[in-house]
Amino acid sequence: MQTLEALFVHEIQDLHSAESQIIEALPKMAKAASSRELKRALEEHLEVTRGHLSRVEQILKELGAKPGKKCKGMEGLLKEGEEILKEDADANVKDAALIGAAQKVEHYEMAGYGTARTFALQLDYDDMAEILQQTLDEEGEADEKLTELAESKINVKADK
């Protein structure tokens, strides 16, 4: 990578891989959730994530780039989440752990989208920056929704 544009393409490829991996993982997480609200939140986020992947694919197309290597960071976070699914844990405690795993994923995505947006602005790719900001905002909303669910219900039940 010799240019900021090459780094930007790499970041978008990384996001493509991350979103693809999340689309595979979310149904497993939703199935493992015992809380109806958590299950619904994860299922809803699956649909939103499909939209994120579509946006990333649009940007890759505009850049004349193809998806790249597997995102190792997301792979690691999702492996940690899979370990939670295998745990013999109280259902409420498992739900609290699922929220924690999902929030780690959201924070990783927010870092990636924020970085890519900043690169896009520097490169005068204003339309791409707007798309990336929209996705960044949606990732933040998902994180807030998970925090609300954890603090108002799941963690309370897990603490009994």
Give the pLDDT of residue 160: 82
- 133 within some domain: yes
Burial bucket for residue 99 (CB in 10 Å: 0-12, 13-18, 19+):
buried
Residue 87 clears pLDDT 90, i.e. is over it: no
The verdict on pTM exceeding 0.85 is yes
Q: What percent of the chain has pLDDT over 90?
A: 92
74 touches 18 (CB < 8 A): yes
Q: What is the CATH number for 89?
A: 1.20.1260.10
Q: What is the pLDDT of residues 102-127, one digit of tens each?
A: 999 999 999 999 999 999 999 999 99
- 126 within some domain: yes
- 67 within some domain: yes
Q: How high does pLDDT run on average in the chain?
A: 95
Structure-block tokens of residue 16: 């493509």
Domain coverage including residue 72 = 4-154
- 160 within some domain: no
- 103 within some domain: yes
Residue 101 clears pLDDT 90, i.e. is over it: yes
Helix (H) or strand (E) holding 122: helix 91-122
Residue 84 clears pLDDT 90, i.e. is over it: no
- 159 within some domain: no
- 146 within some domain: yes
